[in-house]
Amino acid sequence: MSRFRCTVCNYIYDEEKEKVKFSDLPPGWICPVCSAPRSAFERMGTGNGGENEAKGEVITTTVGEKILEQLTAAGVRYIFGIPGDSNLPLVDAISKQDRIKFILTRHEETAALMASAHGKLTGDIAACLSIAGPGATNLITGLVDATTDGAPVLALVGQVAQAYLGSEHLQEIDEIEIFAPFTVYHETIAKPAQALRATTMALKNAYSRRGAAMLSLPTDVLSEKLDDSIWDVSEHIFKPNSVPDDEDIDYAAALINESKRPLLFIGWGTKGGGEEVIQLAEKISSPVATTSRAKGVIPETHPLAVGVLGSIGTVYAAKAVKNADILIVAGSGFRQRNLVPDIPVIQVDINSVHVGKSFPVKAGMVGDARLALRELIKKVARKIPDKDYFDRINKLKDEHKAEIGKDAGDMSGPISPGYLVQTVKRHASKDALITVDSGDHTYWFYKNYVCDGEETLLSANMGCMAFAFPASLAGQLIYPKRQVICITGDGGFAMLMADFTTAVYNKLPVKVIVFNDGKLKNIKKEQEMYGYREFGVEFVNPDFAEFARSCGGDGFRVEKPEELDSAIEKAFLSKLPVIVDVVVDPDKMAMPTTRVK
């Protein structure tokens, strides 16, 4: 007598117990548990168990468990997401181990954005998990954010059992077709023998192509037996880390040596390379501007720092760039050509597509920006500062400091967004991680907050509303001892605010500062800029502070400027997750920076 297993739900048909041979069952017989057809059953002990089964040994591990072993070997520490019918074999595998931590989220978008933020902050992969159908599609926004910002992520997407594919089964969608435009790798694990190779290929592509990889996982395959040996990560997974060609570096160095007023413009590709940036800048007497993503890579209090260049940056930075005679763009595919003056441009980026993408480049280098800077430091000549150039820059810097000082003392009501930014600055730790959402508050922060050790994070290429709060959760997991501050608007925060309970449950003491103006103020700004009427931007808000307390966190609501310092101080001292709900002036807007005269 034999036993047969349903590959969909794992129901066991035992011929001895049932007194009827499986082959004698009527053609229309179905699984009594999940209604799978007879074709979904396999004789136990004859599956695709791999190496040990071929030797006649009993297989005890499943495909889901082996995928987890491979991810553990690759250093994956977190899986964010939601369990459900089509991923339960994998969830069960997660529950049987303790090396990868599972974080249950309220929404799959939160899970994907947490994974994206983890990739941006660490350069390492975290995974997000969903069921088939709506759970899968909810991941897409976070995966697009990861891929467009070059963050390695792995999406583990449940799929209906193979026996049901093509039958319009509940929650069945063509996952590969849907995810292909947003991922750097997408594959279905259709057989146990594929599992370890496909998982390794997903990790390799996420690292080498700098984006989100996706595995579609039919639930029946996840529960099949597999005992293959996992792949040795040291022999199969390698992160890109290349130095530009010597001749390209030599040419760039020669151009820098010929210039009198170079300006170094750094992007995210220099993250962790603040020391190299400052060494090169000091050697060639160059001011340093940053993209919004690179804000905080060097202290903005450094004498050579001129702040953020971009539409959400300062006029001060735009004017400093205007007076340069050569621009050195390092680690950025900067797209705002209107802010790049008509001067020679040197550009280095690890992605060759970014070099010369938005403006003509005199000298292009493809490779790791930090490594390129190290080589340039060796080859450029030391420059004497151009006195007139730096006199103009220092005058601009003094004017900018005066504007910030004005914001810091603005006690007018309703509360000015600029005053809120400076109040946060007064209480933030030097090593704080500050995640910033998309909205009018983004402009206020990037124009006026001076980083002096703080690290910042945002959704750069997508400008994704709701990014900052999930990013703060990921940041607090990665850096449990650091202060993590979320700067967000009422529009963006409300999209995923239910996951404040995720912060409470996991004891993540993030500090959420809500710029509450009762509307989508950045859209209002755009309507005004383009000559449209203000329409469709107002909404009713809950009391965010009361919501925080109802979830088990701390909450403070502030309506008067004189109450703000005390509320922020209490929030930052709290050991709990906190929401500070600040009612700000709905009419005070920070305008985009455009080309200066």
The CATH superfamily label for domain 63-236 reads Thiamin diphosphate (ThDP)-binding fold, Pyr/PP domains (3.40.50.970)
Q: What is the signed CA dihedral for 287, 289, 294, 295, rounded to 10 degrees?
A: 90
Q: Please, what's the b/e burial string for 366-390 (b: 16 or more CB within 10 A of its CB; e: otherwise)?
A: bbbbbbbbbbbbeebeebebbeebb
The CATH superfamily label for domain 246-391 reads TPP-binding domain (3.40.50.1220)
* Of 248, 190, 251, 183, nearest in space to 219 by CA: 190
**pLDDT in the model for residue 237:** 87
Q: DSSP labels for 552-575?
A: TSEEEEE-SGGGHHHHHHHHHH-S
**pLDDT in the model for residue 54:** 43
User: Which backbone phi and psi does 110 adopt, to 5 degrees?
Assistant: -55, -45
Q: DSSP labels for 34-84?
A: T--BGGGEEETT-S---HHHHTTPPP--BHHHHHHHHHHHTT--EEEE---
* Of 517, 458, 461, nearest in space to 487 by CA: 458
Is the domain 409-583 a CATH 3.30.365.10 member?
no
Instruction: State the span(s) of the chain assigned CATH 3.40.50.970.
Output: 63-236, 409-583
pLDDT in tens, the chain (597 residues): 788 988 888 899 999 999 999 999 998 899 999 888 787 788 886 555 554 544 445 778 999 999 999 999 999 999 999 999 999 999 999 999 999 999 999 999 999 999 999 999 999 999 999 999 999 999 999 999 999 999 999 999 999 988 777 777 877 888 999 999 999 999 999 999 899 999 999 999 999 999 999 999 999 999 999 988 899 998 888 887 788 999 999 999 999 999 999 999 999 999 999 999 999 999 999 999 999 999 999 999 999 999 999 888 888 888 888 889 999 999 998 877 878 888 999 999 998 888 998 889 999 999 999 999 999 999 999 999 999 999 999 999 999 999 999 998 999 989 999 999 999 999 999 999 999 999 999 999 999 999 999 999 999 999 999 999 999 999 999 999 999 999 999 999 999 999 999 999 999 999 999 999 999 999 999 999 999 999 999 999 999 999 999 999 999 999 999 999 999 999 999 999 999 999 999 999 998 887 666
What is the CATH code of the structural domain delimited by 3-46? 2.20.28.10
Q: According to DSSP H, which parts of 74-194 are helical?
A: 88-95, 108-122, 134-138, 140-148, 175-179
C-alpha distances out from residue 124 to 74, 105, 184, 425, Å = 10, 20, 16, 29
CA separation for the pair 164, 160 (Å, rounded): 7
CA separation for the pair 291, 308 (Å, rounded): 5
CA separation for the pair 464, 141 (Å, rounded): 8
In the chain, the N- to C-terminal Cα span, in Å, equals 88
Instruction: State the span(s) of the chain assigned CATH 3.40.50.1220.
Output: 246-391
Instruction: State the span(s) of the chain assigned CATH 2.20.28.10.
Output: 3-46
CA separation for the pair 195, 67 (Å, rounded): 7
Which residues make Cβ contacts (< 8 Å) with residue 523, sequence separation at least 6?
536, 537
